[in-house]
Structure 1
């Protein structure tokens, strides 16, 4: 209650003190605070508040906020009826995180998060509408988004290595790679779309158009990156799994592709003969480092290897998790947070129903924490990824473009 014995407590506070108080609140509380009064709404929308919240966020050592997409089957539902579109979870490492529902009304209801393959970049999420082949760059906190249609198809024919014409859909997670990131010096947000190994397009936020980028590195025997739609954004670069032995990076400032060695192949590390093992390899970021997660399957065993990169091509094996300690669908999870001074790893399901697991490296034991936001197994499927919330409005990123392209939801 703002009024105490007739005294307007918050109304009498200096604006800078009000902003300092509000900027310390959880994200969900701040979002709801905009409904308290016009004065609070204006304060939260002010540049001073945005900057205060950003500075306080920089001092957080661990990510504890996550963006979640809930769906039935493969499509994200809207907030109409009993279903919900997106959520923000705070205190994700706890058994009962604080949940803030982000309704998906209007056009945005057609979009779904590119999860489990994506991660947030400075508070922005990359969403995709399969029906209309349009990306959406969305800030769930400010409830704004911008539609970005896919770049035009290349002129002429695309041939494979023996001269055959390639025909594939305009967008498919196994045929194309993509990612969004923030360049280090110019601080430009860039969306990168790679059509197999045959072309690259770059969309710099604020320009309103795609442009042709440098040619991606070729892969012997393949027409696309090994990791498909899986990508990671970290420190001004985008990363993909190029093939079983290499990682591909794209510097968003210089716009140059680089290839460097991936961790030791799971087959080689485990000493399993060719043909006796299959495995998947994915990238993510963990504690501000690039991370590679391998899941190797043999006829009798499943092994998960988690690697972290100390320098380009310099890998350290963080842990090995074997089938005898797995719980549920843990082998489909990705590491998201390091706990207890590096002795424990929090993992979240990248497929399935949003299970969370805590792996104790010293005791080689696993504890299943529960389902995200209480969703039951037979209802909503949930995907979560780390999220760094920001109250920066999208219009500040589109200063040289018609503001009408910014939509609210």
Structure 2
């Protein structure tokens, strides 16, 4: 008879052992047997895993995903003068839900929010536990309405919330859905009244952030939505904002804004060193794009900073499909082939924090495994 030695090990030691595994090893180990699955379910809230990159793209039905684990050197062991990008494709999978056509999405820790841009369909999924569920629409939903959905989790209450934004100027109010409640609630726009919401939101400092445009004053700004208090706030972009072709990201817990300067042939990343302090916007990087292969092209509309490494290197995505890596040591950019056959018209990539959190823990009755 085989002996399960984990039964005799204190839970804190078991958690410490499991927390040293990669997400690939965690997923494989959880599938070994029922006792190991139950063990992972018991300690899952205490296991911390590094962020991974998920690339999702649609081809009619279903939506397909590629999950990529990205290594970061340990500061105690790394030679910070010679750090190379190391990544491992973990898995390809697909979600067979009923919606077709383009999807948009964003992440909150381990969970992804996906919604259809052309048909009805709002989904919450965990790609590691391979579960998804569909959410209802608000009662006052109007077909063909321009929508922006956000997804975040509060560090205070630990509640996950979906924010439904009526994107057109003057389309107030907005709605919030707290996972586990089964209902949508209205929230007033407050400071965000009358502005147009643009792009996908970024979660930073317990706030969701959108680019917003005030047509009354012809001004681009940032709009924050506090997940805990459910209040909106408005603050500035780094100047000059220009035509709005800036992308938001989070690097080392700081809100960042990235864009391509075609006149200088360089990528610029601004960082807000003190949250919501307009004067703290600082240029963190200026990266010449002349070292990129000519086949990559120029005049990038979108620059998304995905990950800032411990040695100052940066992984970015150009036009939703071209992965590039900036070496802080050599001050050069190079294209990396981690997103093969990427098509900017059929999807994009984002970072999320994988875990074994089950959607069933929120009380959903319609959780579907895939």
The residue that corresponds to 1:367 in the other structure is: 334
Match of 1:407 in 2: 368
Q: What pairs up with 1:291-306 in 2 under 5 angstroms?
A: 291-297=256-262, 302-306=265-269
Alignment of 1:306-345 (within 5 A): 306-311=269-274, 312=276, 313=278, 314-327=280-293, 328=296, 331=300, 332-339=302-309, 341-342=311-312, 344-345=313-314
Structure 2 unaligned spans of 5+: 73-83, 214-218
Following the alignment from structure 2 to structure 1, what is the Cα–Cα distance between the partners of residues 325 and 95? 35
After superposition, the Cα gap between the structure-2 partners of 1:235 and 1:76, relative to the gap in structure 1 and judged at 3 Å, is farther
Classify 1:407/1:323 alpha carbon distance in 2 versus 1 (closer, same or farther; 3 Å): same
In the aligned structure 2, how far is the partner of 1:30 from the partner of 1:101?
13
Which ranges of structure 1 fall in alignment gaps of 5 or more residues? 1-5, 58-62, 79-84, 156-167, 268-277
**What are the Cα deviations for residues 48-96 of structure 1, in whole angstroms up to 9, with x where unaligned?**
x213313xx4xxxxx5512221445xx5645xxxxxx213211256655
Match of 1:87 in 2: 66
1:42-121 correspondence runs (5 A) = 42-46=38-42, 49-54=43-48, 57=49, 63-72=50-59, 75=60, 77=62, 85-91=64-70, 97-101=87-91, 103-107=93-97, 114=104, 118=106, 120-121=107-108
SS at 1:307's partner residue?
A: strand
Which of 187, 190, 207 is 2:181 aligned to?
A: 207
Change beyond 3 A, Cα 1:382–1:110: closer
Q: Distance in 1 between matches of 2:344 and 2:267?
A: 28
Q: Which residue of 2 aligns with 1:224?
A: 196
Say whether residues 1:151 and 2:138 are aligned partners.
Answer: yes
After the TM superposition, which residues 163-182 of structure 1 pair with which residues of structure 2 at under 5 Å, given as runs? 169-170=144-145, 175-182=146-153
Q: Larger Rg: 1 or 2?
A: 1
TM-score by length of 2: 0.80
TM-score, normalised with respect to structure 1: 0.73
Q: How does 1:128-147 map to 2 (within 5 A)?
A: 128-130=115-117, 132-147=119-134
Distance in 2 between residues matched to 1:139 and 1:376, nearest whole Å = 24
Quote the residue 2:77 is aligned against: none
Q: Distance in 2 between matches of 1:214 and 1:408?
A: 36
SS state of the match for residue 203, structure 1?
A: strand
Paired residues for 1:249-398 under 5 Å? 249-267=224-242, 278=243, 280-297=245-262, 302-311=265-274, 312=276, 313=278, 314-327=280-293, 328=296, 331=300, 332-339=302-309, 341-342=311-312, 344-352=313-321, 355-361=322-328, 363-372=330-339, 375-376=340-341, 383-398=348-363
Matched, 1:246 2:243: no
Task: Give the aligned partner of residue 203 of structure 2.
Answer: 233
Q: Is the 8 A contact 1:336 1:346 kept in 2?
A: yes
1:165 — aligned with what? none
Tell me which residue corresponds to 2:79. Answer: none
Q: CA deviation at 1:371?
A: 3.0
1:392 Cα deviation (Å)? Answer: 1.8
